[in-house]
Every structure is written in C-alpha cells, then in structure tokens.
C-alpha cells in the first residue's frame, strides 16, 4: 500500500512539474488551512477517475479524467461554517483560471448530504485529444455545455 501511494505521488509530481505550477495553484477563503494545490497535497488525497460523456456532430463518446474530488480538498482545508440550520448552503467556490476565466460552484452541489456531484480537480486526462496535461482542470459532470470545465486552474476561493 505504501509503494502504491509513493508511486501515485511521484506520478502526480511528474504531471504537475511544468512551469504552469511555478506560482502554485491555491485553495483559500473561508477555511482553516489554506492549501497549495501541488503534487504533495494532491497526492495525499485519494485519486478518483470519472468518465464524462460528450457529443459531437459525428457521434458521442466518453473522456476519462483523474484527480482529486473537490469535496476532499475542502474537507482537508476544513471549512469554516456558521452555526445554524443548513448553513453550509451559503458557501460557494470561485474557481479562477490563469487567463482570468472564472466560474462558481455551490458547495451544496458536491456536498454528500445534498447533490453529491463528483466534481473533480483533474491532473490527468485520457481523452481523444490528449493522454495527459500539465495543468489542473475543474471537471463538473452533468453540465450540458461544459462551461464550468475550467482549464489551467490557479485559484479556488471558498466563500
């Protein structure tokens, strides 16, 4: 088991060692412990692989992505939550890409007690176009148009 974890961490380190990670993507905001989203942090969490269906003019298929569930990242960072009924429902995440593109995701969408979507911060892809990539990518399964599939994530802010 230790060897598997070591190999997993090394694979993540190789995938994330490009200059795109020089500044280090971060998770910050209404949490107790801000995180740098590097190979060490991501490698310490369980890897998850999801398949995302897509349609094209000529047919359809599925792409496969591997990374860390955003829920696991928020749990590791320890959400700071108000007391009161369903107070977790007020939180959102603002995800920002290197080019300034930004989207938000309600925490309740991926909280297991609510919608429980498997929202992923991917560090590896097995797609028709690419076998891997050198950045982090937000994957939100179920989005019809994929507008919240953020390439080159540099910041996640919990609000």
Question: 148: domain CATH number?
Answer: 3.90.420.10
Confidence band of 16 (pLDDT split at 50, 70, 90): very low
Which of the two residues, 102 and 146, has the higher pLDDT score? 102
Looking at the 3D structure of the chain, how many domains does it have?
Answer: 1
- Sign for the CA dihedral angle at 29, 76, 104, 106 comes to negative
The overall pTM is greater than 0.85: no
What's residue 69's pLDDT?
97
Structural domain span for residue 92: 2-158
Buried b (16+ CB within 10 A) or exposed e, 24-56: ebbbebbbeeebebbbebbbebebbebebeeee
């Amino acid at each position: 088991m230790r060897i598997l974890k070591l190999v997993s961490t090394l694979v993540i380190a190789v995938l994330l060692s490009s200059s795109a990670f020089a500044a280090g993507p971060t998770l910050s905001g209404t949490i107790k412990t801000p995180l740098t989203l590097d190979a060490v942090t991501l490698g310490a969490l369980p890897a998850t692989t999801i398949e995302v269906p897509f349609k094209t003019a000529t047919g359809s298929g599925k792409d496969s992505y591997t990374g860390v569930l955003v829920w696991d990242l928020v749990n590791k960072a320890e959400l700071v939550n108000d007391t009161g009924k369903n107070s977790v429902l007020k939180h959102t995440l603002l995800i920002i890409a290197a080019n300034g593109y930004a989207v938000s995701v309600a925490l309740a969408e991926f909280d297991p007690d609510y919608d429980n979507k498997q929202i992923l911060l991917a560090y590896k892809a097995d797609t028709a176009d690419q076998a891997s990539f050198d950045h982090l990518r937000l994957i939100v399964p179920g989005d019809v148009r994929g507008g919240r599939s953020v390439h080159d994530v540099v910041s996640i802010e919990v609000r």
